[in-house]
Amino acid sequence: MEDDLALRRKRRFYLGLFILTFIIACCAVCILSKPRSILGKLDYNAVVIDISKGGYRVAPELACSNETFDEMIARLRPHAAINGAYYGHDRKPLGDIVCRGKVVCRGFQRQGIGFTSNGKIRFIERKPNHHIDWTGCCSGLACGPRLLRDGKIDINLHRDGFGSAAGKVTAPRCSVGATKDGKLILCVVNDSITLQTLSEAMLALGAVDAVNLDGGSMCALYGNGRCLVEPLQPMSNILAVYKIK
């Protein structure tokens, strides 16, 4: 009896996952908001945007002094946005920030996500004793650790400059990823979870590559005219998506 119940639950989960994947594949812009359920009862918000066909520009943006997420959204008026790279006590980003083809902040984070002028998404890894090579990218930022690579979970804390304890920490999480056909996924998981669970969530949303972003009390997400997740502190930087007129 228990085996039959487990089998029915498994079938319902994969049916739901199939429907979710189909919806994402058909939408140019798809907002997935709580109280949706994924991987059991995981509470999340996600924005999926097809930037591969043009019509969008993706770029990191730096906050003004003590600027809140709502104030950044009002000032910048993006189509979608998510919290970005880690920052220090002075609120300067700890990872690279690339705007309009120029590195405006140079940091030490090893995993970067870049965007080309023709809507391509690139995941770039900093080699030891080198800077990230942003050649060909007009914008991008670095954070980490890497979550997914080529459709598989690829968490290597030592490689990406994190201590082993980072793998056990649970917190609300932010991630940015890409599907096989070039859609951009911005995701915030509202529950306190590990990096492993975040990776599984991004896989379930259809991502084949993904990077962890700053999370915890800084989790923030905006899409299609409304704030989906409100952060608890002023911002340092965000990753914004703009519609090109």
231 CB-contact burial (10 Å; exposed 0-12 / middle 13-18 / buried 19+):
buried
For the CA atoms of 7, 13, 19, 25, what is the dihedral angle to 10 degrees? -120
Name the residue among 188, 186, 231 with its Cα closest to residue 30: 186
Q: How many CB atoms lie within 10 A of CB 218?
A: 22
pLDDT of residue 40: 66
Tell whether the model's pLDDT for residue 1 goes beyond 80.
Answer: no
Tell whether the model's pLDDT for residue 2 goes beyond 50.
Answer: no
Tell whether the model's pLDDT for residue 212 goes beyond 50.
Answer: yes
pLDDT of residue 35: 46
- Residues of the chain with pLDDT > 70, as a percent, come to 84
| Max Cα–Cα distance, the chain, nearest Å | 61
User: Looking at residues 40-59, what average pLDDT do you find?
Assistant: 91
What type of residue is 14?
A: Y
Per the DSSP assignment, residues forming a β-bridge with 99 are: 102
Tell whether the model's pLDDT for residue 215 goes beyond 50.
Answer: yes
pLDDT of residue 17: 47
User: Looking at residues 87-109, what average pLDDT do you find?
Assistant: 95
- Reported as a single tens digit per residue, the pLDDT across 130-175 is 999 999 999 999 999 999 999 999 999 999 999 999 999 999 999 9
Tokens 């739901």 map to which residue?
16
pLDDT of residue 13: 46
DSSP states along the chain: -HHHHHHHHHHHHHHHHHHHHHHHHH-SEEEE-SS--BTTTB-EEEEEEE-TTSSEEEEEEEPPTT--HHHHHHHH--SEEEE-S-B-TT--BSS-EEETTEEEE-----EEEEE-TTS-EEEEEPPTTS----TT-SEEEEE--EEEETTEE---TTTTT--GGGGT--EEEEEEEEETTSEEEEEEEEEEE-HHHHHHHHHHTTEEEEEEE--GGG--EEETTEEEE--SS--SEEEEEEE--
Conformational region of residue 164, where left means phi above 0, alpha means psi within -120 to 50, and beta covers everything else: alpha
Question: At 15, is the pLDDT very low, low, confident or very high (cuts 50, 70, 90)?
Answer: very low
